[in-house]
């Protein structure tokens, strides 16, 4: 049952959560000046429609893809997907943007101020309870997660926009000068846009990832085309409408719904100067080849956590482990995939506490829910293979969710943990299997002894994706050892270390790969969405009595 709150500032208590969370329903989505849907009314009888945006206009398509509700299998969203014959308007639109961008330090600098104003207006809109609630509920409809997790995504997006209000956009283009060799000579370094660019983002954060990358691209003077996974693109379509309402020039961004094959064709024909891809490693590697390296990647992460020898605050550490592994049903690129537990933790109640926390998760409040990229059968098959490794055992979970109507095209698994001995993990025949990323509520747990730290570090070295990590210890020498011999781009260290969390206040992204992309911070924006240009001014004057010198 859904509860309506008369006062939008009042929340339903957590114990009243339903499939759609503890939210208040606004009297009508039409009271929001940008919205074209009402999240709680999207259904088979009232399906939402998702459009494309190109050359300043919303457009449909000759091909509509019907999506099913991940909670009950009912057709509930129609997406106007562009096929390979329909990419021409998008190619033409990108081609109109010059390589020097829509603005740069020497061209239309007033647009830096424009985007500061747009950010301020959009941040204000997201601060309104009815607007933040609208997006949180919309996220829940397409990528089911708890209301708190969905609202957290809206909150991070708002704080990011607040960070780039006023003059903060032009400060991203701050330059520097170095004295030259003689009077009248100076070299100046500038941040320069790429011009036409592309943004491709996944399903798991349908608001935060595309908005942060889109705005970063725009701040630096680029013209992006945005493609979000069609399963969740309704969220970004509505956000595009909000941004237009806040003053975003309609010619500055194109928005497309398509399958991967069509998007690949578009990229090959439009030849954007840079493409940001967030998603699977397999697709990332293909794009890197097809686009001749003109990419920035924030790809998959098999993320690890190490519990150091200093045991303390077991309840807290267990709670963070549960959140890292199973919040959003494990569908975060930063989710805890493997837990390395020092032998000192084995004599504590840590594992039983993690088990208890995992087992209190339920579909009714979406603290566990549909897995959108792995079927139940695929996850159970992976469990079966892992349990064939000598010494491995099921710690908890490993069974399908019960009493649900999640369609079979999606996964429905209880939060799962499997123990695999460290010695077995490192064996050639096992390592690839154990470190396979399962984008769902699934983790590997192992134990290491005091004299096995080098074995543990070898396991980290052999991993191919280095996104997030956590070293849970307040022992400075242990932290030095592990941090100094690992590479993950976003690493938390200390008693309160976690693997998940991509707030707007610190860099989030992989390390160890020159193609790695960051998100959220000024450093990330400048790295991903601009390049360096050096301009050397040399005005003279010439020395008095200068003469042409001999040839050299």
Q: Is residue 121 in a domain? A: yes
Q: Are 271 and 354 part of one and the same domain?
A: no
What pLDDT, on a 0 to 100 scale, did the predictor assign at position 16? Answer: 33
Q: Is residue 101 in a domain? A: yes
Split into its structural domains, the chain has a count of 2
pLDDT tens readout for residues 165-188: 999 999 999 999 999 999 999 999
Q: Could you say which of 38, 162, 298, 437 is catalytic?
A: 298
Token pair 């490693």: residue: 281
Domain span holding position 362: 304-493
- Residue 333 known to be catalytic: yes
**pTM score of the predicted model:** 0.93
Q: How far apart are CA 381 and CA 36, in angstroms?
A: 42
Q: How far apart are CA 109 and CA 344, in angstroms?
A: 59
Of the residues 440, 474, 493, the one at which a domain ends: 493
Tokens of 474: 């307040």
Q: Are 350 and 278 part of one and the same domain?
A: no
**123 pLDDT more than 80:** yes
Q: Are 444 and 356 part of one and the same domain?
A: yes
Q: How far apart are CA 441 and CA 421, in angstroms?
A: 20
Q: Are 291 and 193 part of one and the same domain?
A: yes
Q: Are 425 and 447 part of one and the same domain?
A: yes
Backbone angles phi, psi at 117, to 5 degrees: -70, -45
- Residue 377 known to be catalytic: no
Q: Are 384 and 475 part of one and the same domain?
A: yes
pLDDT tens readout for residues 201-235: 999 999 999 999 999 999 999 999 999 999 999 99
**6 pLDDT more than 60:** no
Q: Is residue 158 in a domain? A: yes
Please state which of the ranges 25-29, 73-77, 433-437, 445-449 shows the lowest mean pLDDT: 25-29
Q: Are 425 and 292 part of one and the same domain?
A: no
438 C-beta neighbours (distance < 10 Å), count: 23
Mean pLDDT, range 132-157, rounded to an integer: 97
Residue 82's SS3 state is: strand
What pLDDT, on a 0 to 100 scale, did the predictor assign at position 204? Answer: 93
- Name the average pLDDT for the chain: 93
Q: Are 275 and 332 part of one and the same domain?
A: no
What pLDDT, on a 0 to 100 scale, did the predictor assign at position 375? Answer: 97
Q: Is residue 485 in a domain? A: yes
**8 pLDDT more than 60:** no
Q: Are 286 and 343 part of one and the same domain?
A: no
Number of H helices, E strands in the chain: 18, 20
What pLDDT, on a 0 to 100 scale, did the predictor assign at position 2? Answer: 35
Assess contact for 503 and 159: CB atoms under 8 A: yes
Q: How far apart are CA 398 and CA 401, in angstroms?
A: 9
Calculated CA dihedral for residues 129, 131, 137, 141, nearest 10 degrees = 180
Mean pLDDT, range 44-62, rounded to an integer: 96
Mean pLDDT, range 476-504, rounded to an integer: 95
Q: Is residue 538 in a domain? A: no
Tokens of 303: 């993320």
Q: Is residue 191 in a domain? A: yes
Residues of the chain with pLDDT > 70, as a percent, come to: 95
Q: Place 299 in a pLDDT band, splitting at 50, 70 and 90.
A: confident
Interior/surface letters 500-537, b for 16+ CB within 10 angstroms, e for the rest: bbbebeebbbbbebebbbbbbbbebbbbbbbeebeeee
Q: Could you say which of 97, 321, 328, 333 is catalytic?
A: 333
Nearest to 295 by CA among 304, 286, 303: 286
Q: Are 371 and 469 part of one and the same domain?
A: yes
Nearest to 76 by CA among 39, 45, 30, 40: 45
Assess contact for 39 and 137: CB atoms under 8 A: yes
Q: Who has greater pLDDT, 11 or 78?
A: 78
**CATH of residue 99:** 3.40.605.10
**5 pLDDT more than 50:** no
Q: Is the dihedral of CA 243, 218, 258, 373 positive or negative?
A: negative
Q: Are 294 and 330 part of one and the same domain?
A: no
Q: Are 99 and 155 part of one and the same domain?
A: yes
Q: Is residue 444 in a domain? A: yes
Mean pLDDT, range 31-54, rounded to an integer: 95
**CATH of residue 419:** 3.40.309.10
pLDDT tens readout for residues 302-335: 999 999 999 999 999 999 999 999 999 999 999 9
Mean pLDDT, range 21-36, rounded to an integer: 60
Q: Is residue 30 in a domain? A: no
Q: Place 30 in a pLDDT band, splitting at 50, 70 and 90.
A: low
pLDDT tens readout for residues 486-498: 999 999 999 999 9
Q: Who has greater pLDDT, 12 or 138?
A: 138
Residue 298's SS3 state is: strand
Nearest to 43 by CA among 131, 141, 137, 140: 141
470 DSSP β-pair partners: 305, 492
């Amino acid at each position: 049952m859904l509860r309506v709150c008369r006062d939008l500032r009042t929340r339903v208590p957590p114990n009243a959560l339903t499939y759609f969370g503890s939210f208040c329903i606004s009297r009508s989505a039409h009271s929001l000046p940008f919205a074209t849907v009402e999240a709680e009314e999207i259904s088979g009888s009232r399906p939402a429609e998702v459009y494309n945006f190109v050359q300043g206009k919303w457009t449909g398509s000759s091909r509509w893809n019907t999506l099913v509700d991940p909670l009950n299998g009912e057709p509930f969203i129609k997406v106007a997907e562009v096929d390979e014959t329909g990419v021409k308007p998008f190619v033409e639109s990108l081609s109109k943007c010059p390589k020097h961008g829509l603005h740069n330090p020497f061209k239309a600098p007033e647009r830096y101020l424009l985007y500061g104003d747009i950010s301020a207006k959009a941040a204000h809109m997201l601060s309104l309870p009815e607007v933040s609630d609208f997006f949180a509920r919309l996220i829940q409809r397409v990528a089911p997660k708890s209301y708190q997790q969905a609202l957290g995504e809206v909150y991070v997006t708002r704080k990011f926009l607040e960070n780039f209000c006023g003059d903060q956009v032009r400060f991203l283009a701050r330059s520097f000068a170095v004295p030259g060799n003689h009077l009248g000579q100076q070299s100046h370094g500038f941040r320069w846009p790429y011009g036409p660019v592309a943004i491709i983002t996944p399903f798991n954060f349908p608001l935060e990832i595309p908005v942060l990358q889109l705005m970063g691209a725009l701040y630096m003077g680029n013209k992006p085309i945005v493609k979000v996974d069609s399963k969740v693109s309704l969220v970004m379509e509505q956000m595009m409408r909000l941004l237009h309402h806040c003053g975003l020039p309609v010619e500055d961004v194109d928005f497309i719904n398509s399958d991967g094959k069509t998007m690949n064709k578009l990229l090959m024909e439009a030849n954007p100067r840079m493409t940001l891809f967030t998603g699977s490693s397999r697709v990332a590697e293909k794009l890197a080849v097809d686009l001749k390296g003109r990419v920035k990647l924030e790809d998959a992460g098999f993320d690890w956590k190490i519990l150091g020898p200093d045991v303390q605050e077991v309840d807290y550490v267990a709670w963070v482990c549960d959140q890292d592994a199973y919040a959003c049903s494990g569908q975060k690129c930063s989710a805890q995939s493997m837990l390395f537990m020092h032998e000192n933790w084995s004599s504590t109640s840590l594992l039983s506490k993690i088990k208890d926390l995992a087992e209190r998760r339920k579909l009714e409040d979406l603290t566990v829910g549909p897995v959108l990229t792995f079927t139940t059968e695929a996850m159970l098959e992976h469990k079966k293979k892992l349990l064939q490794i000598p010494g491995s055992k099921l710690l908890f979970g490993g069974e399908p969710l019960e009493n649900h109507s999640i369609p079979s095209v999606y996964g429905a698994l209880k939060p799962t943990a499997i123990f695999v001995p460290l010695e077995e993990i490192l064996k050639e025949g096992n390592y690839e299997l154990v470190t396979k990323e399962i984008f769902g509520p699934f983790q590997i747990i192992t134990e290491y002894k005091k004299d096995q730290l080098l074995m543990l570090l070898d396991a980290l070295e052999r991993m191919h994706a280095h996104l997030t990590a956590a070293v849970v210890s307040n022992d400075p020498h242990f932290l030095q050892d592990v941090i100094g011999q690992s590479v993950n781009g976003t690493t938390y260290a200390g008693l309160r270390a976690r693997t998940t969390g991509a707030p707007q206040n610190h860099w989030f992204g992989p390390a160890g790969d020159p193609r790695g992309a960051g998100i959220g911070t000024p450093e990330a924006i400048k790295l991903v969405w601009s390049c360096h240009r050096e301009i050397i001014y040399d005005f003279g004057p010439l020395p008095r009595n200068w003469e042409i010198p001999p040839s050299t």
